[in-house]
Structure 1
Amino acid sequence: MAASTDNYIQTFRSAIARIFHANGAVVGGGFLVSGRTRNYILTCAHVVTSALSLPEDIVEAPSNDIYLDGSAPQKQRLNEIFNDFKEFAWRIERCLKELQFFKDNSRRLRVVIAARCLIDLPLDRTFPKLTLSPFNWEVIQDTATKYLKPIEMTSESLALLAAHLLYLTGGHPGGIAEALKVYRGGGYTVNLFLNSYGNQLWEKNLKKCRDQIRESLTKENNYLYESIEKLSIFPIINSSCILKEAVQRFKLPFSDDSFKLNTELTKTSIFTRDKTIIKDGMTRRLLVIGLLRESSPESFQELCKEAAEIC
């Protein structure tokens, strides 16, 4: 019975297709329908218009190609990147074999290529994939404990410092490294460090990262940034009701049309129709920190209060 159920589920999954916008974002789904002479993908009209960037009230039947699973531009690009990586690795190997050091010493060489965008590379490739843990409070505390070993600190102080670092940086590794370096050489107490160094860390390191996120998002759709920034208050948006309430309470520029907002958000690089709307948690936290730093405390608290009531 279990095997039969597994087969049924596998068959059902194989009949579902994701539909992509030309920029690689998922805009909807469809179902495979078998005909006598050919197969079809059944989906909604608004998914087609979103995939082709057409007006929703268009009457003429579109003739452009639509990207489905297996033909998505994002996957094509990932394959190109992977082939470039293979060539890159082979060139490194050839060059290193010519070095006298490696001719005289039978030592292994490990090349690590790291980037968040590589998480989508296929698992069955030549390169082994190591998924790094997020920079949460536990990881930051462990890092601080090891780096600040020469300094006498209690476990309570280290735990408090880790909490401050997560608050100041959102878990950004570059920001954490810079902050620990300053703390180790500055003779700070934990609370003094929070109060005196937070603004400097934002201006020197993290604001630039946030601005890069803003630039990439405004290139995709300029008027969406305000909505994305305010929605970053929510770690998860797993209900259309939440989005509908947010449009009304946050006065987002969509004339109370949460469905249109949802459609537009899925065309951006950091949003998806998954339960976790923002793919990258660190991106979300940097947007929230920017919102906190660049708005009044009162307006930020009011935004958080509205979000809490929505949830």
Structure 2
Amino acid sequence: MFKTLLTKFTLLTCAIIPLSFAYAADEVNVYSYRQANLVKPLFDVFTKQTGIKVNVVFAKNGMAERLAREGEHSPADILLTTDISRLVELQDKQLLQPVKSIVLETHVPAHLQSSDDTWFALTTRVRNIYSAKRLGNISINYEDLSDPKWQGRVCTRSGKHPYTVALVSSMIAEHGEVKTLEWLKGFKANLARKPQGNDRGQVQAIHQNLCDLSLGNSYYFGKILTNPEQKVWADEVNINFPNQGNRGAHINISGVAMAKYAPNRAHALALMEFLISEKAQQLYAETNMEYPVREGVPLSQLVASWGAFKADNLSLVTIAKHHKNAIKLIDQAKFDL
């Protein structure tokens, strides 16, 4: 009955899962922003190796609110997120606990983990600039999105989306607030349409000749290429790694953290360390076409075909510090209006 309750309730549900479930032997409870099909294969392998069952609640939003509501009675052990901003939200609201692990500290690069040991990156993804193939091979920087030559030729999703906010945060870290605001205004002036849609929709927009440039995460391009109905969009688009002549391409992460009141702490730590193992990292790379954070883990064949690139090594902690100011500048630029 308790397991049925766990699968029925979403993160927006007010009910608290009974403690008998939370403290069940040989189980670990996960709250996840990552989709079921992306993480279930990993959890199945973990259970097979350890005998520890993984119970998962999936949701698009509301994790911080639910954890705060449940308080010390929360059954959550592990929290999986899809970007840095959501990890920082959990951190700022003191819903995480520090984790001391040689495995995590060794195999997750220093700039991809928190300074207080509360969260760790599992994979990275690039914020690519897509371009119409009719333009040929181009070299482009994020700064170029405000160049008047692209007026009416750029598409993107909402400025308030976490992926966009993270990019703007990195621009603040690089250029300061004054120049970033100027960039945002120029970027907005170049938009072919009001910011809308998801990352896949930005590739489709180029296919539909609505724009010549658009922004999207690298792994979505891989998903489009492997989708028979959407591949035609990608066939007319080049994937570009920005800022290769200077600081490198902006990256975001999927990440993991331990909940503040994790009732199954030992099992939670075992799962966190498993997720950074070579086997789990390679499975991540193959199933979701992301970049493993663990050094030496091979990329999927499709991702590798896009070529090597230089990534911005700016600390995600630094990017996170500019999150609130990034939202403020996006509002000042009236980016979504």
TM (norm. structure 2) is: 0.24
TM (norm. structure 1) is: 0.25
Q: Specify which structure has the higher proportion of helix.
A: 1
Bigger Cα Rg = 1
Q: Specify which structure has the higher proportion of strand.
A: 2
